[in-house]
Amino acid sequence: MKVLAIETSCDETAAAVVEDGRSVLSSVVSSQTDLHATFGGVVPEVASRAHLELLPAIVDEAMARAKAGPDDLDAVAATIGPGLVGSLLVGTSAAKAYAWSWGLPFVGVNHMEGHLHAAFLEDPELCLPTVVLLVSGGHTMLICMQKGRDDRIEYRLLGQTIDDAAGEAFDKVARFLGLGYPGGPAIESAAAGGAPDAIAFPRALAGRGYDFSFSGLKTSVVRYVRANPGVNLADVAASFQEAVVDVLVEKVRRAAAATGAKAICTGGGVAANTCLRERVKLVCESDGLVAFIPSRAMCTDNAAMIGATAWYRLRADGPTPLGAPVSPNLRLPLVLS
């Protein structure tokens, strides 16, 4: 089954053709980063206008690279939420129009479920139950992915951030330090020249439950830099990154032990962070767990993960009606623990 998938929930215009939810025939991602960099963050109206201009060419490119025509496809999918409403509308309206005109089913996909399924594209044998650390610009969640009835995949929420998302903390601290946008990669490269133990920033909620809190850490960085104007910014970036990674890794490790998970999986843009990737690998090695760490391109927003999820959802629930609205605050379908 071949699915054309479209992702436009934020500032990446992406299209992909995915076969049987596992094999990526093409994946094209056009980042609008440069367009938003001068504003220091994503400007929703600018993002949706750019999606509108870029999307037809991106879809054509994905179809051409997959050597696919409309007759080769079995469905057209798009992210319907969560995300920026205008951006979601562009991708979803386009996908519905392609589906309607080609006589194919439409599948509306939850962006966060897409991040959870990204690992399947590179590790088709992903063993469940696995604990997933989902860390993006808008979300920070610890989820246990497990097999339920009729082989359905269930998501059990173990914990989430009570204030800022991890990616948001990277972006805000980078902006404060004048490192630019997007903040994650900027902090990561600044941190390369600094000492992670130079400044003892707080590790909020460490050792307690599975929820996260990053807003106090951000305030701590601001206070420290204001009180120490001559401080080496590389040390600040490295110490901040270390504080975030320490908390993420400590919680995912404890969650894996408590749930009897066989693997730890990472997803979302922050999972592109080298320090986090290396620390998760080390924990898995020492605890006898499998580490599923998707490539950086599969951690950040892309349409292949939407195609993988659409394949699963189409078989589990059938198509989405063309009248279904976009849902900027869409939540993951969770099972209660």
User: Which residues of this protein are in contact with Zn ion, per CB under 5 A?
Assistant: 136, 301
Contacted by 8, from Zn ion, ligand KG4, none: CB < 5 to 8 Å by type: none
Gap between the Cα atoms of 31 and 307, Å rounded: 19
From the CB of 301, what's the least distance to Zn ion, in Å?
Answer: 4
From the CB of 197, what's the least distance to ligand KG4, in Å?
Answer: 19
Shorter beta-carbon distance to ligand KG4: residue 114 or 319: 114
From the CB of 135, what's the least distance to Zn ion, in Å?
Answer: 10
Shorter beta-carbon distance to ligand KG4: residue 40 or 105: 40
Half-sphere exposure of 226 (CA within 13 A, CB side): 8
- State the chain's maximal CA–CA distance in angstroms: 64
Beta bridge mates, 131: 144, 264
Shorter beta-carbon distance to ligand KG4: residue 62 or 166: 166
202 prior amide bond cis, ω within 30:
no
Angle at 160 between CA 186 and CA 150, to 5 degrees: 115
Contacted by 130, from ligand KG4, Zn ion, none: CB < 5 to 8 Å by type: none
Shorter beta-carbon distance to ligand KG4: residue 234 or 322: 234
For the sheet containing 2-7, what is the strand order?
Answer: 23-31, 12-19, 2-7, 75-81, 106-110
From the CB of 229, what's the least distance to ligand KG4, in Å?
Answer: 25
Q: Which residue type does 142 have?
A: L
From the CB of 36, what's the least distance to ligand KG4, in Å?
Answer: 12
Gap between the Cα atoms of 42 and 186, Å rounded: 16
CA Rg, the chain, in Å?
20
Residues of this chain that bind ligand KG4 (CB under 6 A): 10, 136-138, 167, 170-171, 182-185, 188, 268-270, 272-273, 300-301
Beta strands 153-160 and 140-147: pairing type? antiparallel
Gap between the Cα atoms of 25 and 131, Å rounded: 28
Contacted by 183, from ligand KG4, Zn ion, none: CB < 5 to 8 Å by type: ligand KG4
Residue 224 burial (C-beta neighbours within 10 Å; 0-12, 13-18, 19+): middle
Contacted by 188, from Zn ion, ligand KG4, none: CB < 5 to 8 Å by type: ligand KG4
Shorter beta-carbon distance to Zn ion: residue 123 or 301: 301
Gap between the Cα atoms of 170 and 258, Å rounded: 29
Shorter beta-carbon distance to ligand KG4: residue 63 or 80: 80
Gap between the Cα atoms of 171 and 122, Å rounded: 28
Contacted by 300, from Zn ion, ligand KG4, none: CB < 5 to 8 Å by type: ligand KG4
From the CB of 323, what's the least distance to Zn ion, in Å?
Answer: 26
Contacted by 272, from Zn ion, ligand KG4, none: CB < 5 to 8 Å by type: ligand KG4
From the CB of 71, what's the least distance to ligand KG4, in Å?
Answer: 33
From the CB of 171, what's the least distance to Zn ion, in Å?
Answer: 13
Shorter beta-carbon distance to ligand KG4: residue 171 or 235: 171
Shorter beta-carbon distance to ligand KG4: residue 86 or 268: 268
Contacted by 307, from Zn ion, ligand KG4, none: CB < 5 to 8 Å by type: none
Helix/strand/coil percent split, the chain, to 5: 45, 20, 30
